Structure 1
């Protein structure tokens, strides 16, 4: 693994930094206060983000599928769409997480499409802004417990059920819906479907009021005899008991490093601002001094920076493995678990270190603390990530280790 950032991604990182500082930061508080108001300033960024994704092997935005660049012998080194997406979103979330989630054609559903879609679907759906609909009122962290059904009817599937906490569910052009073809077969029958906005039978029931990421809409969606073309079932339509729903779960191997990168970005924002405020208060951070010669605030900030660096490296590793065709399920969960926890800890501790300034709305520190919490929850909670890691390391099944 090469730890330095690939030189070819320099322009992308610089462009994302400019967007974060010049566009996101100035309107961050505005849309935090005006929840559910669509940020019109972001409409122009669809074309900009397309430029950032030029040459992507998935045909569109979002993280790409696992791809072996070296023909399978492990000797090559590829930095592709997964690394590009993580690096870009890390910088954008330094500006604002909610706004980053609101950029057209950059939904989490796009990573699902990239992960399991066939070539025809990638070509047809590559420019579609897709949200992700997995969670249900009775099925949260246990994705295998979903009750939404998809029944084959001629050349269509009829979907019935309810999904909640769908990020960009109202604004996106389509929603990637997880549903079961046959609930009696358990998780092996779970497939994902692309349901386009405006399809009869799909209704946005409500928008949630949230602690953070208020500029991003979070919707509850109902499907009532919603008819979807069979061609919109992502991947293999056959039910395989042996493979289970591995194809659908590969989505998480792509999206978890992306969410980890978002947590790394917001934590860096808090660290950068806290360092500036401490310097203004006469507490400059000097790395040459020994810990016992530093103030408590300086020591704590250095500790947080070390935690942040560990999360960043785990995140880059997971993205790099995906780009190089290496199974990254454990690495993706490790990155998500570490970065999600670090993002929460760093932003909250920075609020404490800055005292009244950190708590007040004159600074964005309190907002970052609120925004960071979701990054430890969606795409699999902290507890679920640790459970996945333990199962893989111990060689246990989901039935053996709950």
Structure 2
């Protein structure tokens, strides 16, 4: 097994780390304290990233996370999913909230990349897309969506409410999940791109949050909101046999990215805690048995092992997407493992650092707060474990709830 970063992505990974260190880190505390203020400094960075994508066959960022074109090459392929993941890992070593606040890097962009047709990809290129799935009565069970989309000539009319929409107040458009026919269940759920300012679409609430405060999170209502039929992503036909698989393919690409966010912030906490413990006298000699080192050293070793496991599972899920291998189970495994590890690592690092970890002189307490959402959004820990169980046992959602 060769577990090194592919040579063609090393430059990208290094550049992302530099951005995290020199650009994100200095802004972290500023926008953690100024919740709901838009980080204007990100505009230049987003423009630079757009420029890189314009001249590169292998685009970087959330929009590159797609199975499109994968498998065209002979042999093993390292493509857009892996490049997006490596970038996310490094940028979240800097700041998760700032990454989520970056223009044109939303999970909605990954959704467009995953399921849009070629015409839609060309037309929507350059848009900043948020993702709207969760509803007041529908959290982890995406199949229970109540927002409806009724065909009316060349448009669909959307009615419903979405909550916890990341970047929903800032993005150019929102990818909205809605049902074409609720009597047909999950098979009728499709995703629509609704542009900002569309009549009938309105932001109704701005959330105050535990972490990722640089990113805005909103509720959006749709009241007879007319969306062009051309903005229904992918195939408009309802395929009862295929069921939910088409729109759910989005998660196969986005869940490894969220796992990558967790891997990134956990690595930040481990690196800083190691520095602080080294200053306090810890030697970190890996040749010694855990029985003869300090409790702090032994704890850090265990956390590093958990982090490495999460990292490898996440890389595997993205690599499988690049090679057009079914990765729904692996995406959920990665998301479940990395989300839980990030929570444990960041909280334990606060504990190991003592008073320094709890105070605002260090970013450790912020990383602990930021990490919590990574075990919740894009499917909670419990839902990921349920999905994995269904895949392993060969059962569907009605047979194993």
When the two structures are superposed, what TM-score results if normalisation uses the length of structure 2?
A: 0.97
| Contact 2:148-2:178 at 8 Å conserved across structures | yes
- Where does 1:73-84 land on structure 2 (aligned, <5 Å)? 76-84=75-83
Query: How many Å separate the matches in 2 of 1:6 and 1:329?
Result: 23
What are the Cα deviations for residues 258-310 of structure 1, in whole angstroms up to 9, with x where unaligned? 00000000000000000000011111322122211200000000000000000
What are the Cα deviations for residues 126-157 of structure 1, in whole angstroms up to 9, with x where unaligned? 21110000000000000000100001000000
Structure 1 residue 352 corresponds to structure 2 residue 365: no
Deviation at 1:68, TM superposition (A): 6.2
* Mean CA deviation greater in 285-294 or 203-212: 285-294
What are the Cα deviations for residues 247-268 of structure 1, in whole angstroms up to 9, with x where unaligned? 1100000000000000000000
| Contact 1:148-1:178 at 8 Å conserved across structures | yes
Number of residue pairs matched by the alignment: 400
Structure 1 segments unaligned to the other structure (5+ residues): none
Q: Which residue of 2 aligns with 1:229?
A: 228
Q: Which residue of 2 aligns with 1:46?
A: 46
Cα 1:22–1:71 change in 2 (3 A) is: closer
Q: Which residue of 2 aligns with 1:259?
A: 258
Any idea what SS the aligned residue of 1:206 has?
strand
Q: Which residue of 1 aligns with 2:366?
A: 367
| Contact 2:71-2:322 at 8 Å conserved across structures | no
Q: Which residue of 2 aligns with 1:208?
A: 207
Structure 1 residue 325 corresponds to structure 2 residue 318: no
Deviation at 1:381, TM superposition (A): 0.3
* Mean CA deviation greater in 233-242 or 54-63: 54-63
What are the Cα deviations for residues 35-75 of structure 1, in whole angstroms up to 9, with x where unaligned? 00000110111222224545456898424322464459xx6
Q: Which residue of 2 aligns with 1:3?
A: 3
Deviation at 1:101, TM superposition (A): 0.5
Cα 1:176–1:264 change in 2 (3 A) is: same
Cα 1:52–1:343 change in 2 (3 A) is: farther
| Contact 1:57-1:64 at 8 Å conserved across structures | no
Cα 1:85–1:52 change in 2 (3 A) is: farther
Structure 2 segments unaligned to the other structure (5+ residues): none
Any idea what SS the aligned residue of 1:235 has?
coil
Query: How many Å separate the matches in 2 of 1:50 and 1:216?
Result: 20
Structure 1 residue 171 corresponds to structure 2 residue 170: yes
Query: How many Å separate the matches in 1 of 2:254 and 2:160?
Result: 24
Q: Which residue of 1 aligns with 2:91?
A: 92
Q: Which residue of 2 aligns with 1:21?
A: 21
Structure 1 residue 276 corresponds to structure 2 residue 275: yes
Query: How many Å separate the matches in 1 of 2:26 and 2:180?
Result: 46
Query: How many Å separate the matches in 2 of 1:22 and 1:63?
Result: 24
Query: How many Å separate the matches in 1 of 2:374 and 2:57?
Result: 25
Query: How many Å separate the matches in 1 of 2:61 and 2:366?
Result: 31
Query: How many Å separate the matches in 1 of 2:349 and 2:38?
Result: 29
Q: Which residue of 1 aligns with 2:385?
A: 386
Query: How many Å separate the matches in 2 of 1:69 and 1:204?
Result: 37
- Where does 1:147-166 land on structure 2 (aligned, <5 Å)? 147-166=146-165
What are the Cα deviations for residues 178-201 of structure 1, in whole angstroms up to 9, with x where unaligned? 000111111111000000111111
Taking only aligned residues, the RMSD between alpha carbons, in angstroms, comes to 1.5
Query: How many Å separate the matches in 2 of 1:222 and 1:79?
Result: 40
Any idea what SS the aligned residue of 2:360 has?
coil
